[in-house]
């Protein structure tokens, strides 16, 4: 098939062609990072799913090897769906994944590397005693999937959870095992929540109370908080809470202030789904991968011959407030930085627009810190504005505000017929200032038939402290992955400009608020293309 490369990303993970969805079983083993993912080897739409497999030593340059797991036995003949890897004691990796059987029941299977001395772990063996967990005793076999990485309890028993639902209740059903092969369902789920619908791709892991260090999933010493995440099939968004793991009850309990439903915290307030984290024992950090789907039409995907990317690997850790996570692209990404332009200490007057020129900006990385010099003109924040996305939608990019909108126009055409905006607006409530971050692709393309949702989130920064707020955007042809407030808010969008392509893409900083804003420091780098699975 011919692949149309016009919108192909340069440094976001993807295979040379065809459909991809969820990242699966990411792991670090003997100096090599492995990423598996849901892949259709036959086309650019979902179907024929196998576990495609790539290896890397830096999570930036990738080499494709043969699919690791593909339908071949009754227990996975109708599909090899999502799952996770666990590194067993003695440094032995194992994969648990969901298979779809001849009755279209979802079952859980185990697979082992055939040859541990192959650094690429190319071949995986699926024992005939699979499935190791079947949907019995009232579990709905068409909603029972995506086993997590397992963790070892102080009682030397392994635990894992699988996503399911009971009527409209999302459930993380728990299983325990002494030998990793025989699993017994626990009487109580690890966690569940009313009204959310099916929980896909649950993830459950500890985080340190302080600092950026990651924690191994099985660690239980020291002061730890826990993160529980699910992907909601109903809304196609994910949400997470921070809480405690009550080992006496084997239950996860979200912290009091955490909103435990679809309007709770998100890793990414944009196009991001089915994410999975793993502990990188090499650099002692926790890494998060997420899938970003296309937002053009199915026919566009067929025509271009590919669909789906993974977001850049992000390190995750707990914010010192304990109320949310911080995410930041792994430091290895910076090795791709090429030509640089910078702007220092420049005032953006009300209505101001400055082009950042001198580099190719269709495959770039922009880091900027803004300083809001005065807040007197900040608009009043109406406490009924509880939905940041709606607020971004209503105000758009061009509605003049008091403080902001200020930010970036990326993938812009020279006449501004096209652009995707990433910006802040600062509001004043009786007790504090509220920072809103928006990513608005509604003008991203002159082409018709594209899905262009506006995304938004509140950024938990204290703007009054020094007036500063930072933004980082990873621009990659059809992907815009932005980090506001130093990783407090992430928003990813997919866009398909008709004109702002390649060297016709421009980058601007703007301020459409009444109050002046200063660019303290802006750096924009061209990004080099890593080895990407042979593409």
Nearer to ligand FRU, 361 or 492 (CB): 492
Among 17, 101, 146, 486, the residue binding ligand FRU under the rule CB under 6 A is 146
Among 28, 51, 81, 226, the residue binding ligand FRU under the rule CB under 6 A is 81
Q: What is the DSSP string of 149-209?
A: PPEE-TTS-EEEEEEEEETTEEEEEEEEESSSSS-EE-SS-SEEETT---EEEEEEEEEES
Which secondary structure element, helix H or strand E, spans residue 24, and what is its range?
Answer: strand 18-29
Residues 495 and 480 sit within 8 Å (Cβ to Cβ): yes
Pairwise CA distance, residues 79 & 84, whole Å? 16
Residue 110 binds to ligand FRU (criterion: CB under 6 A) = no
**Residues from 323 through 342 that contact ligand FRU (CB under 6 A):** none
Residue 49 binds to ligand FRU (criterion: CB under 6 A) = yes
What x-and-dash track marks residues 451-490 binding ligand FRU by CB under 6 A?
----------------------------------------
Length reported for the chain: 535
Taking CA atoms, 124 is separated from 95, 108, 110, 120, in Å, by 9, 16, 10, 11
**Residues from 170 through 229 that contact ligand FRU (CB under 6 A):** 200-201
Residues 98 and 126 sit within 8 Å (Cβ to Cβ): no
Q: How far is the CB of 169 from ligand FRU (least distance, A)?
A: 17
> DSSP state, 378?
P
Q: How far is the CB of 274 from ligand FRU (least distance, A)?
A: 4
CA 49 to chain centre: 21
Nearer to ligand FRU, 36 or 419 (CB): 36
Nearer to ligand FRU, 268 or 418 (CB): 268
Catalytic residues: 22
Residue 82 binds to ligand FRU (criterion: CB under 6 A) = yes
Nearer to ligand FRU, 267 or 273 (CB): 273
Choose among 462, 392, 390: nearest CA to 423.
392
> DSSP state, 382?
P
Nearest residue to ligand FRU, by Cβ distance, number only: 81
Q: How far is the CB of 197 from ligand FRU (least distance, A)?
A: 12
Pairwise CA distance, residues 384 & 394, whole Å? 14
Q: How far is the CB of 286 from ligand FRU (least distance, A)?
A: 21
**Could you tell me which residues come within 8 angstroms of residue 38 by beta carbon, excluding any fewer than 6 positions away?**
20, 21, 22, 24, 49, 51, 52, 81, 82
**Residues from 87 through 106 that contact ligand FRU (CB under 6 A):** 98
Pairwise CA distance, residues 229 & 64, whole Å? 29
What x-and-dash track marks residues 490-519 binding ligand FRU by CB under 6 A?
------------------------------
Place of tokens 């939608």: 393
Q: How far is the CB of 369 from ligand FRU (least distance, A)?
A: 36
Maximal CA-CA distance, the chain = 70
What x-and-dash track marks residues 3-42 binding ligand FRU by CB under 6 A?
------------------xx---------------x----
Q: With CB under 6 A, what is the number of residues at the site for ligand FRU?
A: 13
Q: How far is the CB of 236 from ligand FRU (least distance, A)?
A: 9
Q: How far is the CB of 201 from ligand FRU (least distance, A)?
A: 6
Pairwise CA distance, residues 214 & 459, whole Å? 23
Pairwise CA distance, residues 10 & 97, whole Å? 30
Summarize as ranges the residues that interact with ligand FRU (CB under 6 A): 21-22, 38, 49, 81-82, 98, 145-146, 200-201, 273-274
């Amino acid at each position: 098939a011919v692949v149309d490369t016009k919108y192909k990303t340069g440094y976001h993970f993807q295979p040379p062609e065809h459909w991809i969805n969820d990242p699966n079983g990411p792991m670090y083993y003997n100096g090599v990072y492995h990423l598996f993912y849901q892949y259709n080897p036959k086309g650019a739409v979902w179907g024929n799913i196998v576990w495609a497999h790539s290896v890397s030593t830096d999570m930036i340059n990738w080499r494709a090897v043969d699919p690791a797991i593909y339908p071949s036995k009754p227990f996975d003949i109708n599909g090899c769906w999502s799952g996770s890897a666990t590194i067993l004691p003695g440094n032995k990796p194992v994969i648990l994944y969901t298979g779809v059987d001849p009755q279209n029941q979802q079952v859980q299977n185990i697979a082992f590397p055939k040859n541990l001395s192959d650094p690429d772990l190319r071949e995986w063996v699926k024992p005939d005693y699979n499935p190791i967990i079947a949907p019995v005793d009232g579990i709905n076999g068409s909603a029972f999937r995506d086993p997590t990485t397992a963790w070892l309890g102080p009682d030397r028993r392994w635990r894992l959870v699988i996503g399911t639902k009971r009527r409209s209740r999302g459930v993380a059903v728990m299983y325990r095992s002494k030998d990793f092969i025989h699993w017994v369902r626990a009487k109580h789920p690890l966690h569940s929540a009313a009204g959310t619908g099916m929980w896909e791709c649950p993830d459950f892991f500890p985080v340190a109370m302080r600092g950026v260090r990651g924690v191994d999933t099985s660690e239980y010493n020291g002061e730890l908080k826990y993160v529980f995440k699910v992907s909601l099939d109903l809304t196609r968004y994910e949400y997470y809470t921070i809480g405690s793991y009550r080992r006496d009850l084997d239950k996860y309990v979200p912290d009091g202030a955490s909103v435990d439903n679809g309007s709770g915290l998100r890793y990414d307030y944009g196009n991001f789904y089915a994410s999975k984290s793993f502990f990188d024992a090499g650099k002692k950090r926790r890494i998060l991968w997420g899938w970003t789907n296309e937002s053009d039409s199915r026919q566009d995907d067929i025509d271009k011959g590919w669909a789906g990317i993974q977001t850049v690997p992000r390190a995750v850790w707990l914010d010192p407030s304990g109320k949310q996570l911080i995410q930041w692209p792994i430091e290895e990404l910076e090795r791709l930085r090429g030509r640089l332009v910078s702007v220092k200490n420049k005032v953006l007057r009300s209505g101001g627009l400055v082009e950042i020129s001198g580099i190719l900006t269709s495959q770039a990385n922009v880091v900027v810190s803004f300083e809001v010099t005065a807040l007197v003109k900040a608009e009043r924040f109406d406490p009924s504005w509880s939905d940041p996305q709606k607020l971004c939608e209503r105000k758009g990019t061009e509605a003049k505000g008091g403080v902001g909108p200020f930010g970036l126009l990326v993938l812009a055409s020279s006449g501004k017929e096209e652009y995707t905006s990433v910006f802040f607006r600062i509001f004043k409530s009786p007790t504090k200032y509220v920072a809103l971050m928006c990513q608005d692709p509604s003008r991203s393309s002159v082409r018709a038939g594209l899905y262009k949702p506006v995304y938004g989130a509140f950024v938990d920064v204290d703007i009054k402290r020094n007036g500063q707020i930072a933004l980082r955007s990873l621009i990659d042809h059809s992907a815009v992955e932005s980090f506001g407030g130093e990783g407090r808010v992430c928003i990813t969008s997919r866009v398909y400009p008709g004109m702002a392509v390649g060297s016709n893409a421009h980058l601007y900083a703007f301020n459409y608020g009444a109050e002046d804003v200063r660019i303290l420091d802006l750096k924009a780098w061209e990004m080099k293309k890593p080895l990407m699975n042979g593409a």
